[in-house]
């Protein structure tokens, strides 16, 4: 299984500012994903972080609001830009590797970043 860490674990930010969340995996993985969990809601996929190319965004999410980087196979960042109170959520990184898929294993999730925007 993959061990995933996220930084920061939580933050309180002022509206209009931006926050960059880091996701680090202890092994090389094929796929990295960013999810959002708004209060009282379930997880929604924001985008797939592609190594060496632009991220693939889901409907309703745009690069200007959620720029994503993935410089290598173990690290990714998600930036929440020009924040508003509606961005208050838990942001989770998850990973998946073709070797896991072959073994019938699942995606692994990081501990999440709790963001509160005032």
Instruction: Give the interface with other proteins as residue ranges (CB under 8 A).
Output: 4, 30-31, 33, 41-45, 48, 58, 92, 94, 96, 101, 104-112, 114
The least distance separating other proteins from the CB of residue 26, rounded to whole angstroms, comes to 14
If the CB atoms of residues 84 and 106 are measured against other proteins, the closer one turns out to be 106
Q: Smaller CB distance to other proteins: residue 44 or 82? A: 44
Would you say 16 or 111 has its CB closer to other proteins? 111
Other C-beta atoms closer than 10 Å to the C-beta of 109 total 16
Compute the least distance from the CB of residue 64 to other proteins, in Å. 21
CB 93 within 8 A of CB 23: yes
Q: Which is nearer to other proteins, 13 or 43 (CB)?
A: 43
Q: Are 45 and 59 in contact (CB under 8 A)?
A: no
Nearest-approach distance from CB 45 to other proteins, in angstroms: 4
Beta strands in the chain (DSSP E): 4-7, 10-13, 19-25, 31-37, 43-49, 56-57, 68-72, 75-80, 89-96, 108-109, 113-117
Distance of closest approach, residue 82 Cβ to other proteins, in angstroms: 25
What is the rounded distance in angstroms from the CA atom of residue 105 to the CA atom of residue 29?
13
């Amino acid at each position: 299984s993959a061990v995933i860490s996220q930084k920061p674990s939580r933050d309180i930010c002022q509206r209009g500012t931006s926050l960059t969340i880091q996701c680090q995996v202890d092994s090389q993985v094929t796929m990295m994903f960013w999810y959002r969990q708004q209060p009282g809601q379930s997880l929604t996929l924001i985008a797939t972080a592609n190594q060496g190319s632009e991220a693939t965004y889901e409907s309703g999410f745009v690069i200007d609001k959620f720029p994503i980087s993935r410089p290598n196979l173990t690290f990714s960042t998600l930036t929440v830009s020009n924040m508003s109170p509606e961005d208050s959520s838990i942001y989770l990184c998850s990973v998946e590797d073709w070797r896991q898929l072959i073994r019938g294993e699942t995606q692994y999730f990081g501990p999440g970043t709790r963001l509160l925007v005032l």
